Amino acid sequence: MLEACDVSFSYGEEPVLQGVSFSVTPGELVALVGGNGSGKSTLGRLLAGALLPEAGSVVCEGFDSSEPDSRPEVRRMVGLVVQNPADQLVSTVVADEVGFGPQNLGLSAFEVGVRVDAALEAVGLAGYGAREVNALSGGEQQRLALAGVLAMEPAYLVLDEALSMVDSAERPQLRALVRRLARERGIGVVMVTHDPIEALGADRVVVLKEGRVSWSGEPDTLVRNERELLERVLMTGPYERAFCTAVDEGYRLASGVEPADFAAWLAGEGRGACDAVRSCLRGVEKGDARDRRAADGVQTAAAPLLSANGLSVGYGGRAVLRDVSLALEAGTVTLMAGESGAGKSTLATVLAGLAEPLAGSVAYAGEGRPALAFQQPENQLFLESVEAELAFGPRQLGCDEAEVRRRVGEAAEALGLDGELLARDPFSLSGGQSRRVALGCVLTLDASAVILDEPTSGLDAASRRSLHKVVRDLAHAGRAVLVISHDLEEWLGVADRVVLVAGGTLAWQGSVAELAGDPGAFGRAGLVAPEAWELARRLAATAGCPTSDGRAEPTAADVPSRAAASIAASEAQRARAASGAASAQKPSEGAESASSPLAGVDARVKLVLLFCAILALFITQKPLAFVVWVVIALALGRLGGMGVGRLVRALRPAAVLLCFIVAANLISCDGSAAIELAGPVGINTAGAARAAAAVARIALMVVFSVVVTATTTPVAVADAFVRLARPLARLRVPVDEIGLVLSLALRFIPLVMDELNRVRLAQRSRGVRFDEGGIAVRIRVWGTVLVPVMVGLFRRADRLGAAMDARCYHEGTRRPHEPHPLTDRDRVLLIMGLIIIVDLALAGR
C-alpha cells in the first residue's frame, strides 16, 4: 500500500496541505480532484517521494520517504508522470530516454534493453526505439514519458494531469492504457485530473479543498448522492449528464465510461433508460450554437474582422502551413482543433501578426493588433504583482491610468481574481492561478480579435465556466474569438464555427450544425468525435433501443448512423496515412541528416576527425589548401544530407563576427594603409589576406561542426565523449556525469531558443516594441523577455532535476559504459580521415 498519513506541507509561509490522509492499494485507480491551488499536485509529488512532508509521513510498502535510506526505494516504487512531457524527458532518442531509469538502477545493457522493449510495447510505441524524441507527436511524447517510468517497474504511478495536453484521438487510448496498467499489471494509480471522464472511470474519487480531503468515495456514490459536489469540482456537459441519468437508472460506472461501454448497456439491460439518456444528448449534434449570435443580439458582420487568404508558412525548408484561408467574423466564437503538430499554433501566430507568411496575406479590420494567449501563457509573467502584470499591456499601449484601472478591474472580475490574489507575487501562484492571470493579461489588451491557444488546460471546473462566460461575453460585445483546443467536448457547446486542421491544411470548416451533417470531418483531421456525439451516434444506431412511443429510432434521422461512424474511422485512417505520406515526400532537414550516410559513422570517429580538422585549419595558410578544405566541406555536407543552402544558413549566426574580422583586418587607421581613403584611414591589402584566411577558418569550422551535430544525436555525442575521455576517470574526473550534463545541454539548447522566441512573441502581443527607442530603452524592453525566460530556465531545471531524481539518478550509481569497439569500416574511415587531414595540414603550411 502507498499511504500518506496526516501529512502537511507549505511553500514558504503558505500552507498547501493540512493533515491529509490518503491511500492507494495495488491495482486500484484513484482520481484526485479539486480546485486550482487545492494541493493536488503537491500531494502527488509527496506520494512519489519528490517532496518530503513537513508533518506526517508517506509510506510505500513499509518504506518511509522521510528516512534517507528508504527514500530511493520509494522513488523506485512510485513513478511520477507530469502534465508536460518536456519537463521530464532527458534524452533525444526514444530508446535512451526509456533506458535512463534502468541504467540508474545499475542494470546491465542486456537487462536495460529488455525493459526498454517491454515498456515501449506496453505503451504502444514498439519499434520506436531509434526515433528522435522531438519528432514524436504530443500524445506519443506523453506515452514515452510513461514508458520511461514503466521501465523502472514501479508498483505505483502518480499521473499529474498527464493526459490533459493530448488530442482527442490520443486521449481515449491513453485512458484505456492507464486502466490496463491498473487492472492487468496490478499497478496502483493516482490520477490528478480535472477531466470528468478520467475521474468517473476511477475506482475511487478523492476531493481536495483548501489543502484538506473534503470527500472520498466511489464514483457511483459521487454521481448518485453528491450531485452538487460533482458539478462543483468537475466540468460536466451532456455526456456527463447522460452518465448521471444512467447511474440513477442502475448503471454502474465500473462497467466503463467510454461511449462503447455505455451504448452496450443501453442496448441491453439499460434499454429502459434510452429515452432519459437521449434527452440529455438532444441537440448535441444539431448545432445548437448556430443561432447563438442572434440570441445574443449580435449582428453578423458584413466583412470578416480577421481573415487569412492563401497562407503558406515554412521553417528551415519544411512546410508547416499550405494554402490556408479562413475568416473570423465579429460576434463569433470559432473553435480550431487538430492533431498535435498540425500547425494550429503557427497559424495563430501568423493571424496575430507576430510572424510573416511565405505566401498569402492576413487582413485585420479591427484596432491595434489581435491579442494572442500562447500555450502556457503563465511563462511570460515577470513583474512583482498580479495587478502589475494585468496593467502592463494597457500601459504599453499608452492608456491613461484611469483606463488601465478600468481594464484591470474588468479582467480581474471576469476571471475571479480577488484583491488578495492581485497583490500576490505571480511566481507564488499555482499552475491554474497563473493561467488565469495570464489570460487576464490578454483581456486587458481590449483587442477586437482574441486568439486563445489551449486556454483551459490545467484550469478547474469553476475557472473553465468563468472563461466560457468571458469568451461568450467577448463575442456578445462584437469581438472575434478563436479558441484552439484539444477538448472538443468542452468547446463545441460554446463555439459558433469550427475549423479542423490536418497536416498544415484546413481539413474542414463551417458551423457546428454543418459539422453535425458531415460524419467524416473529424476523421479527415485525424481526430475522433467528442464522447457525447459518439454516444448519440451509437444510441441512434443501436437496434432495439425504442423511443418513448415504442417505435425503433431511425438510424438516419437526427444523427449519423453506425455507417457514419465507420466513415469517420476510415477517414481518420486515410488522414493519418496521408500525413505520413506527406512527411515521407517532404522530409525535414533533420530527418534527411538522420538518414544520411554520415549518420551511421561512429560518433567517436566524427569527433576525433572534427577536432583534428580544426587544429589543421589553424595552421593552414595557402589559398589552394583552403580551396581543398571547401571542397571537402561541401562533399561532407552532401553526404550529411545538407545542401549548400543549409550550410550557408548555418553561417548566419557567425555573420557579425565574420564582418568584424574583415573590418578589423582590412581597415587601417594608423596611416600605413596601401590604399588611402580619408586621412589616416585606408585599406590594408595585407590585412585583406589575413581577413580572408580568418573568415575561411571560422566558416569551415562552423560547417564541419554543423555536419557533425546534424548527423549525430546529442546522446551519441555524450556517449562518444564519455568513451574517449574514459582514461580521465582514473584520475577521478567524473566523466560519466560530465557526459550526462553534455547530453542534457545539447537537448535543451534548442528548447531554450524556442522558449526565448515564444516569450518574445508573447510580449509583442502585449504591446512591447523591440525596435523603438535608444539603447537604454531597448535593454529595459528585452528585460520583459529575459526575466521570464531565465525564470523559466530555473523552473525547467528544477523540474528536470526532480524528474531525474524520481528516476533514481544519483552520482556514481550508473553502470560504466560497456566496451563498444569500432567496426572495421569506422576504423578505415578514421585512418583515411587522419591521413587526409595531416596531408592537408603539411601541404597548406
Q: Taking residues 830-835, report their average pLDDT.
A: 93
User: Which of 117-121, 555-559, 626-630, 657-661 is least confident?
Assistant: 555-559
Counting residues of the chain whose pLDDT is more than 90, the rounded percentage is: 31
This model's pTM is above 0.85: no
pLDDT in tens, 221-254: 999 999 999 999 998 888 988 989 999 989 999 9
Instruction: Show the cell assigned to 259.
Output: 461511449
Task: Determine which helix (DSSP H) or strand (DSSP E) holds 176, and give its type and residue range.
Answer: helix 170-183
Report which residue type is found at 645.
G
DSSP labels for 214-226?
Answer: EEEE-HHHHHHH-
Angstrom CA distances, 646 to 588, 640, 649, 710, 833, stand at: 12, 11, 5, 11, 24
Cell, residue 701? 569550422
SS3 571: helix
Residue range 504-556, pLDDT digits in tens: 899 999 998 888 888 789 988 888 888 888 888 887 776 445 443 433 333 33
Helix (H) or strand (E) holding 360: strand 359-364
The CA radius of gyration of the chain, in Å to the nearest whole number, is 30
Grid cell at residue 73? 526505494
Identify the helix (H) or strand (E) that includes residue 441. Answer: helix 431-443
Residue 471 corresponds to which cell in the numbers above? 469568451
Average pLDDT of the residues in 609-616: 92
Task: Enumerate the β-bridge partners of residue 318.
Answer: 315
Cell of 835: 591521413
| Extended beta strands in 2-134, E state | 2-11, 14-24, 29-34, 55-60, 63-64, 78-81
Q: Residue 211 to residues 10, 17, 41, 227, 458: CA-CA distances in angstroms?
A: 10, 4, 11, 22, 18
Check if the beta carbon of residue 198 is closer than 8 Å to that of residue 191.
yes
Residue 690: pLDDT band by 50, 70, 90 thresholds? confident
CA distance 60 to 73: 9
The DSSP bridge pattern shows strands 63-64 and 78-81 to be: unpaired
C-alpha cell at 347: 497559424
All three cell numbers of 63: 518504506
- Rounded to whole angstroms, the Cα distance separating 643 from 649 reads 10
Q: Which amino acid is at 323?
A: D
Residue 661's SS3 state is: helix
3-state secondary structure of 105: coil
CB atoms within 10 A of CB 362: 17
Kind and range of the H or E run holding 376: none
- The one-character DSSP state at 299 is P
User: Which triple of cell numbers denotes residue 252?
Assistant: 454502474
Instruction: Find the mean pLDDT for residues 3-19.
Output: 91
CB distance 801 to 748 below 8 Å: no
What's residue 296's pLDDT?
A: 52
Give Cβ neighbours of residue 626 (< 8 Å, ≥ 6 apart).
620, 693, 696, 700, 844
- At 314-363, the pLDDT tens digits run 876 678 899 999 999 999 999 999 988 788 988 999 998 888 898 999 99
- Sequence-distant (≥ 6) Cβ neighbours of residue 103 within 8 angstroms: 112, 814, 815
Residues 414-451 as b or e (16 or more Cβ within 10 Å = b)? bbebeeebbebebeebbbbbbbbbbbbbbbbbbbbbbb
More confident residue, 665 or 163: 163
What pLDDT shows up at residue 153?
A: 92
By C-alpha distance, which of 85, 66, 83, 86 is closest to 74?
A: 66
CA-wise closest residue to 245 among 216, 209, 274? 274
- pLDDT for 817 equals 63
CA-CA distance, 101 to 337, in Å (whole number)? 35
- Residue % of the chain over a pLDDT of 70: 87
| Per-residue confidence (pLDDT) for residue 316, from 0 to 100 | 63
Average of pLDDT values for 163-179? 84
- Can you tell me the distance from the alpha carbon of 792 to that of 87, in angstroms, rounded to the nearest whole number? 11
State the chain's mean pLDDT as an integer.
82
